[in-house]
Amino acid sequence: MCTLGSTLAVALHDPESATYRVAHYDLQARARPRHPPEDDPLDEITGLCCCPRLKLFASSSRDGSVKVWNRRNQLLRHLKLNTIPHSLAFANDHGDLLVGIERHLYRIQHSKYLPRSYLLKLVCSRFVEPTQDPTLSVSVADALLQPLPWDPAAGPELGGPPRQAASWLCPRGTQPC
């Protein structure tokens, strides 16, 4: 499931009829825009994501398809792959798609699949350069890796002793956390 403004998109599976679908719900208008059943995937949905800038949803399924939907639940593009996509995400505000296939990640450029009207919208848009996250100093990183205090009487669950961490997670010169 994913949200875009007041629109909620949900991947659904009905085991009784062996059908799969992507349903959109407009939570503000309390409406459910529908699409024709032939637009639904033929197999399990493996990914569902949204691009807030373009107001688009994308879905992938085991039938080898990647489908791009608008906010009104209308199918804009159906990309047929010759393999099974395992995951899907929008890479950026331009609408590039990232598709996980087996142990690899592939990018589908927005210019290869977006309808002309969306490409024109991109040409007229201004994009702000992303800001860089600050680099963590060694002392800050060491502070993040300090073991949490625990109460031995609390037992191994909540508040109990911390689980043994891999030695590479602990600061140099200390025992495994």
Domain count, the chain: 2
Q: pLDDT at position 18, please?
A: 83
Asked if residue 162 and residue 111 are part of one domain, the reply reads no
With a threshold of 0.85, does the pTM exceed it? Answer: no
pLDDT tens digits, 75-114: 999 999 999 999 999 999 999 999 999 989 999 999 999 9
pLDDT tens digits, 9-54: 988 888 888 889 888 898 998 888 888 889 999 999 999 999 999 9
Buried b (16+ CB within 10 A) or exposed e, 71-109: bebebbeebeeeebbeebbbbebbbbbbbbeeeeeeebe
133 assigned to some structural domain = no
Asked if residue 29 and residue 58 are part of one domain, the reply reads yes
